[in-house]
Each structure stands twice: as C-alpha cells, then as structure tokens.
Amino acid sequence: RLCWPGSGAAAMDLFGDLRRMNKRQLYYQVLNFAMIVSSALMIWKGLIVVTGSESPIVVVLSGSMEPAFHRGDLLFLTNFHDDPIRAGEIVVFKVEGRDIPIVHRVIKVHEKGNGNIKFLTKGDNNEVDDRGLYKEGQNWLEKKDVVGRARGFLPYVGMVTIIMNDYPKFKYALLAVMGAYVLLKRES
C-alpha cells in the first residue's frame, strides 16, 4: 500500500508497524535510537575537549559579517587561552543579557602590562562598532567573553538549523520522521 508522508494513512502504517513488532524487536530499536543519540553527545563533548571551546560549531545567524560569512554558514571554532587575541581575527562572543553568541571581527586590542587584554569588535557589514551590543556601561570585551575563534567554515550548511528555528513545525516533523525511521528500520 502506498502512503504519502503527512497523510493519515502513513501514521496508521507507522503504528501498525510498531504493533507488529515483538517486544524484543522494539527494545532493540529503542536501544539503537539511544545509541545514536548518546554517540552524537559523545562526539560533541569530544569536540569541546579538543577545541577548548564550549561551542565548537556555530551557525552564522545574520548578515553582519558579509562578505566574509553569510547567513547560514557553519563555523568551526577553537578557544585556546594561550593564543593571543589579535586585531583582524574573527571571534564568537557572548554578551551578558543575550542568549545568542555574536560572530564579529576584532578591530582594536588593548594589552596591559599585567597580561589583561581588552578588545573591541565590529561586524564587517556594520557601520559602527559593537559597543551598542555590549551590556550597558561596557565598552570593551575580555577573553572571558569569547566562546571561540573562527578557524574554518562550510558555506550555507547551517541553513537547516535556521529553517528549523524559523519553522518549529518543520523541526518537529523532521525529528518525528527520523525517530520513526530509526525505530522501524529492521536489520536484515
């Protein structure tokens, strides 16, 4: 029988397949799904350790860094604290009061004799520096604000993430289809 995704018949087929599985097969499929999820988490945690960044991969969410990076580009980050921050470098930073990290270029660096470093950022496509984005009264960023530094990128690969955030129903439908596939896929 032919069933199209999104149709009631497809949902009935899904539940029919689940009912036809014996308990052992169902447990096996649930364990497969759990293994995939835990493997993904282990890979993510491994990347955090290797790169020194709390978020080793980020998606560019705005056009403020064009032409260097476009909305949807996937950035690979490192954050080794021994590496000095230099003007011209692209950093990802968090500002108190904002949930989403910002990807911008360092335009000025002030180094003090005690090793303290303060710096100012700006988006390549913006007219003014980022002081308006920092928390009130803050004029400079410090190393503690840096999530990571851009070391490489894949163009537009992150558009999937942007689409899933802009259209939550699409995200849940995609997750349901992937979950159903993993649960119902039978090994030969």
Element holding 35 (H helix, E strand)? helix 23-51
Reading the chain (188 residues) residue by residue, the pLDDT tens digits are 444 455 555 555 656 666 666 788 888 888 988 998 999 999 999 999 999 999 999 999 999 999 999 999 999 999 998 888 999 999 999 998 888 999 999 999 998 878 789 999 999 999 999 999 999 889 999 999 999 999 999 999 999 889 888 888 988 888 888 888 877 776 65
Q: Are residues 63 and 45 in the same domain?
A: no
Element holding 37 (H helix, E strand)? helix 23-51
* Residue of 53, 83, 110, 130 with catalytic role: 130
Q: Which two tokens stand for residue 149?
A: 């530094």
Is 17 among the residues known to form the active site? Answer: no
* Residue of 104, 124, 129, 145 with catalytic role: 104
User: Nearest CA to 104 among 140, 67, 64?
Assistant: 64
Is 70 among the residues known to form the active site? Answer: no
Q: Which two tokens stand for residue 49?
A: 């350790």
Residue 107 CA to residue 143 CA, distance in Å, equals 15
* Residue of 53, 64, 73, 145 with catalytic role: 64
In this prediction the pTM is 0.75
Q: Are residues 67 and 153 in the same domain?
A: yes
CATH label of the domain that carries residue 155: 2.10.109.10
Q: Are residues 72 and 149 in the same domain?
A: yes
Residue 132 CA to residue 108 CA, distance in Å, equals 16
Q: Are residues 90 and 29 in the same domain?
A: no
Q: Are residues 64 and 46 in the same domain?
A: no
Q: Are residues 64 and 148 in the same domain?
A: yes
- Asked if the structure places residue 97 within a domain, the reply is yes
Q: Are residues 41 and 64 in the same domain?
A: no
Is 104 among the residues known to form the active site? Answer: yes
Domain, as residue range, for 14 = 10-51
Cis ω for the linkage preceding 67 (within 30 of 0):
yes
Residue 86 CA to residue 47 CA, distance in Å, equals 24
